[in-house]
Structure 1
Amino acid sequence: MPTEVEGTHEVRPGDVSLYTKTWKPDGPPKAKVIFVHGFNDHIHRYYELFPTLASHGIEVHGFDQRGWGRSVKTPSDRGLTGPTSQVISDIVSVIKSQLPSPVPLFVMGHSMGGAEVLTLASDPQYEDLMPSIRGWVLESPFIDFPKGQAPGAVTVFLGRLAGKLLPHSQRFSALKPETLTRDPEVVKSLTDDPLTHGYGTLAGLSAMLDRSAALHGGKVTLSKGVRSIWLGHGTKDMGTCYHASDQWFKRQTQVQDKELKTYDGWYHQLHADLPKERAVFAKDVRDWILARVGVEEARQGSDSKL
């Protein structure tokens, strides 16, 4: 059985302390995954996904982002993510805490977290980090809103203006639980979970919209150092747009090793959809990662003989 270890990560001395949890395999890991959760979420809500990966030799390092889950210490911390530069810096800090890594390292993000890791993978400031990351795994990334659900231009404009004037002001912005999963038990747990507070700050929400708009509009380009991408998305996703993911994926012609996995009829939380199908999603992620671990080992073995 995998071992679960709780801890904290201090981004910078004297800065916020982020709650962390690691799922460790029984033996030496074959790979590592840094996981970045989505909006109104925390790393205790990923059901079989992390234990499944760990049981097959993939060590998972998760953390509750600034403003979410157990990283929230007071009500005023809720949704207080800071600007995109801080969000990405937090993720990079967690990644670097696992470097150098003796095994291939992967970065995975869900929903808002998916857009965040893509923003990182497109930021020239972190170009030197790309060789250390073997692959990028995206679950239902927030590249755009589903059709008909995007806020109007006036609402967005006023929100951005308010965000500049009152950046820390909180706004309840949670999606309805029944739109996230087809499992009624998960819907109930989302409603009852005190850590899914549903609040974002005006500045944080504006930054989230900016990241998705940049990705959807093709304003950012993946680093040349990005080697491999896997993207999974459900066709009935009511949280983020499947078609936007499909269009974004098709534009990534510079990445040779990439896979788009369509889950017909699935909702937003692929890891927490119907119980019999969660195992399918976990297996797909596991198999994709381990296939690249095998390729990496073969390459290193070949290099050692030169």
Structure 2
Amino acid sequence: MAIRQNIAAEHIPIRDNTHVYIKEKQQLEKRTAGRNYAPSVTIMAGRNSGGRSTTSSHPSVVSYGREVNIVERCWEVLPTGSKPKAGLVLIHGGNWHSGWFGELGDLLSSAEYSIRVSAPDLISHGLSDDPVPGYRAYCPDFASQAEEVGAAIARARAALPKGCPLFVLGESMGGLCALQHLISEKANDLTDTVDGVILCGALLQIAPGLLPPKVVFKRQKLSERHKIDAVFPLLQAVGWLIPSLGVPGAAIGGETFDTAFGDPAVGPAARADPLVTEMAPPRLGMMLGFLKAMDVTKREGPVKLKVKSVLMMHYKGDQRTLYEDCQRFVDDLPMEDKVCIPLEGDSHQIFQDTPEKSKKHIETVGRFITERAG
């Protein structure tokens, strides 16, 4: 995969309170202790421990003028040495990390399903490094995340037996990153690389309530969807000037953070996880990147997405990403093998639901893959 030189020295911001909320700055200083890379921590035992996965480190395929490594988890199939029926690359959502998918990786890689699972921590997430020192969950060029997805897919393909089916699962922002790669020229230059894609609460339209600044809408009687169109020019202008500026009033934590999980125990555990940066506000440059990516994906996806099979799972009342846009996207896809599973409720992350529901969702993914793996 080609290396892109995309970060000039002038893009690296001065770290002061103009660019960073005071609260976030204090949290970052505690978590990073002055280091210029992702914090090395002992993950607490539990649902965010990564299960029986092993980790490996890989140089970023994007050049930032400094060393940036991507940490990836892998769940090899059991019994050890047995041949996998399929492979799955899992892409987590924004401000999250791969350690939260231990239950999924453990179950799908068991003898019951024999699916090899791999899951990178995206740039500046989890145990992966920061391209801009001291800024967590920030990537100056959102398209770089899609390139890392492509690299993870290439690693997974190389690790699988020849002809073994490969699927990609993207949750929330991870769904957008996965689709952004899969409709790119790089993905379409290759044949038989990915057989199917699984979208779980995929970010194809951010909920209007998460789009700031609210002052933009104060005197405008706009529908929720038109609010998104109204805010874009302002974000574009300011974001071009100060891409690292935190978006006012848009912390990923916010009012809908705890409601994103069907299991009420997950919210407090996530807030205590030093690798979950729920209070970090989206940066304008990155927000502009995924707003653009959403637009391009919805317009070009139905033409350029070449996978054979698609599974969509999404809560109909999701308060962070909109169900209707994801449903419409899948409806517009030309392939015949499409499965849409609307879920009742207003949660967002389907694998952090109650243990019973989470296991059911994992089993649905396992059946979808193995039925197509033959």
Counterpart for residue 287 of structure 1? 367
- Backbone CA RMSD of aligned residues: 2.2
Larger Rg: 2
Counterpart for residue 201 of structure 1? 283
Counterpart for residue 104 of structure 1? 165
Matches within 5 A, 1:193-232: 193-198=273-278, 199=280, 200-216=282-298, 218-223=299-304, 225-232=306-313
Distance 1:76 1:147, change over 3 A: closer
Structure 1 length normalisation: TM-score? Answer: 0.87
Counterpart for residue 240 of structure 2? 164
Q: Secondary structure at the match of 1:71?
A: coil
Separation (CA, whole Å) in 1 of partners of 2:129 and 2:277 = 10
Counterpart for residue 118 of structure 2? 61
Residue 240 of structure 1: CA displacement? 0.7
Q: Secondary structure at the match of 2:239?
A: helix
Q: Does the CA contact (< 8 Å) of 2:263 and 2:352 recur in 1?
A: yes
Moved more, 125-134 or 7-16: 7-16
Matches within 5 A, 1:84-95: 84-95=142-153
Q: Secondary structure at the match of 2:270?
A: helix
Which of these residues, 51, 54, 57, is aligned with residue 5 of structure 1? 54
Structure 1 runs (4+) deviating above 4 angstroms are 147-151
Q: Secondary structure at the match of 1:76?
A: coil
Separation (CA, whole Å) in 2 of partners of 1:43 and 1:255 = 30
**Structure 1: runs of 5+ lacking an equivalent:** 295-306
Counterpart for residue 247 of structure 1? 328
Summarize deviations over 1:206-261 as a string: whole Å, max 9, x none: 10111123334x24444363211111111121111111111111111x11111111
Residue 69 of structure 1: CA displacement? 1.1
Counterpart for residue 144 of structure 1? 205
Q: Secondary structure at the match of 2:356?
A: helix
Aligned-pair identity in percent equals 24
Aligned residue identity for 1:286:
G
Q: Does the CA contact (< 8 Å) of 2:260 and 2:346 recur in 1?
A: no
Larger helix proportion, structure 1 or 2?
1
Separation (CA, whole Å) in 1 of partners of 2:349 and 2:88 = 18
Residue 25 of structure 1: CA displacement? 1.6
Separation (CA, whole Å) in 2 of partners of 1:201 and 1:150 = 12
Residue 123 of structure 1: CA displacement? 1.7
Q: Does the CA contact (< 8 Å) of 1:144 and 1:240 recur in 2?
A: yes
Larger strand proportion, structure 1 or 2?
1
Residue 159 of structure 1: CA displacement? 2.1
Moved more, 15-24 or 155-164: 155-164
Matches within 5 A, 1:242-281: 242-252=323-333, 254-265=334-345, 267-281=347-361
